[in-house]
Amino acid sequence: MKSLLRPALSLLILLTLVTGLLYPLAVTGLAQLFFPWQANGSVLTRDGHAVGSALIGQNFTAPCDFWGRPSATATYPYNGLASGGSNLGPTNPALLDAVKARIAALRAADPGNTAPVPVDLVTASASGLDPDISLAAARYQAPRVARARHLPLARVQALIDAQARHRWLGLFGAPRVNVLELNLALDGTAPPRVE
């Protein structure tokens, strides 16, 4: 029995050191060396203060801000500790009711906007934390934001185009805009908010 116990304990200690200490330190060190912004949470700042992460959406509700995708996380929207979707299937009446309510809220926030509502403004993602919206969703909201901020619509649309991220290598992903980055850019170019 002793002859089996010693190699097993030695292997346990060795693998614990390699996989529990050396590997995490090496990966963390390489991440800090080559990708420091991403490794530290992709934190966005304004006036030296952290205002959020470019990787996690925020619950913007003011008319002068662009709004992100709905979040289905538990307790409160965009809760990073409760990441997950609603798990409602496409034939579930609760999903249809939620989508109808979200469309009604968007229409109430901008009654003059008769354009089709982009799907990402009324459906939550699988994570519930999406920081990005489609360019169509941003352009749909542009008239409301421009009116609320007393800006020309063309200026707001130009800002959307300037903040747009396009397909990686022209193939992967979809054209999109980060909502927090767009709102921060808008705050930097717009007169003081009128809420």
Partners of 45 in beta bridges: 50
69 φ, ψ to 5°?
-65, 150
The predicted pLDDT at position 11 comes to 94
Give alpha helix (H) positions in the chain: 2-17, 23-34, 36-39, 93-109, 135-149, 153-163, 179-189
Please give the distance of CA 15 from its chain centroid, rounded to a whole number: 37
The predicted pLDDT at position 189 comes to 63
Do strands 49-53 and 176-178 pair parallel, antiparallel, or not at all (unpaired)?
unpaired
pLDDT along the chain (195 residues), means of 10: 86 95 95 89 83 88 92 83 80 90 93 92 87 95 94 94 88 90 84 46
How many angstroms separate the CA atoms of 89 and 74, rounded? Answer: 18
The predicted pLDDT at position 195 comes to 43
Predicted TM-score (pTM) of this structure: 0.80
The predicted pLDDT at position 194 comes to 44
The predicted pLDDT at position 34 comes to 94
